[in-house]
Structure 1
């Protein structure tokens, strides 16, 4: 790629980001079921509508890209919160659930928007929330995989745990945000869900003959469990 082509691509990338951020701003400012037009997005971005269509072929592509950007922003936060090298299992669970709850509270209209359709990467079979839950499940599998590998254990007892836990957390928080769940404060709902997630994980671990302590740093706990299996 020549220098000119590289600069042109950078210019287009900046415009695409500017357009997407403008669309997100309009979604967050309007009613939950508002239809944000391409004209509105162009005006907010300070560009002609034709420029928007040059960057995004149609409104459907623009909306898919908005969901993709939103998904990646939130997924990036969760990747950081699910850092297994930082904290105990209880701390990891609590801060991850807190991040999801805070995002839903801070971005209610955007949360509803991403539920209404797929991202750009999807073939349409999964909406953005389903993709997000899948991303969380993959991360949760990292916790389980680390435990199973450290103990050379069969992970069969754990295989359905990520799906059960992630589905419970997402569905409960969604109902709580809408006021359809029992009345709880932010701190209470996060604490409740962290406890429930821990109970499920602990039950699966015990079924596999593993005792997992929730308040010991995760890496230290793995080291202890591994050491307990080392011949003396």
Structure 2
């Protein structure tokens, strides 16, 4: 709604212009969804022609390019949509209802299982495309990392521990690095001729590794990571504040 209001002000409330913008956005979504369907039917690394995407969308190739500056613009938009959907799935697993280790395991299993179910989409979002601005996958990882950092801060606040300024400042890039390492590890695991260990075995390995890092850093700072759902910590904290 805010975007529409802005557009209306910019173009003097031109109704035709607003209708064109809405039509353009709808057509872009159709094209992006068509590109994702084509990717799902393709193999990782396969060269996908724009003509295939246009045909899947029921459009002429020339019409498709009216809605995107070039192929890179199209590919970035497709990456952004895939990462948005994946990010939403993973963020849904970051619930305060689970124990810390369960939350970590759920997120990592989500990444591994999604990569197995959608190998070409996983390959595609890892591609480094030219252009300004952050990479769509980096933005998705950042959103996940921010939520994990919030969960960690809940544990820190529960114990009443004052982290140093350096620890506070370093928490964000450290969590980002952890999540980024998961994606890099899955990429390497999936690229091998034989997927060994199994998806579950590899997810467990990653989860155990990350859990040891988190627990180890917490122990060094006198913080005991509780083996209870984080919702219970919040309940205790709320009662103590009354």
Query: How high is the TM-score relative to the length of structure 2?
Result: 0.79
Alignment map for 1:121-160 (pairs within 5 Å): 123=132, 126-155=134-163, 156=167, 159=171
1:197 aligns with 2:206: no
Question: What are the superposed Cα offsets for residues 127-159 of structure 1, whole Å, 9 maximum, x if unpaired?
Answer: 443333333322221122222233332332872
Q: Is the 8 A contact 2:80 2:137 kept in 1?
A: no
> Is 168-177 or 6-15 further displaced after alignment?
6-15
Q: Which residue of 1 aligns with 2:86?
A: 74
Query: Counterpart of 1:55 in 2: which secondary structure?
Result: coil
Aligned counterpart in structure 1 of residue 110 of structure 2, from 85, 99, 121:
99
Q: Is the 8 A contact 2:155 2:233 kept in 1?
A: no
Query: How high is the TM-score relative to the length of structure 1?
Result: 0.82
Distance 1:118 1:72 in 2: 17
* Compared CA separation, residues 16 and 22, structure 1 to 2 (3 A): same
Q: Structure 1: 5+ residue runs without aligned partners?
A: none
Alignment map for 1:1-232 (pairs within 5 Å): 1=8, 5-83=17-95, 85-118=96-129, 123=132, 126-155=134-163, 156=167, 159=171, 161-179=174-192, 183-214=196-227, 216-223=228-235, 226=237
Distance 1:212 1:27 in 2: 42
Distance 1:201 1:161 in 2: 10
* Compared CA separation, residues 182 and 67, structure 1 to 2 (3 A): closer
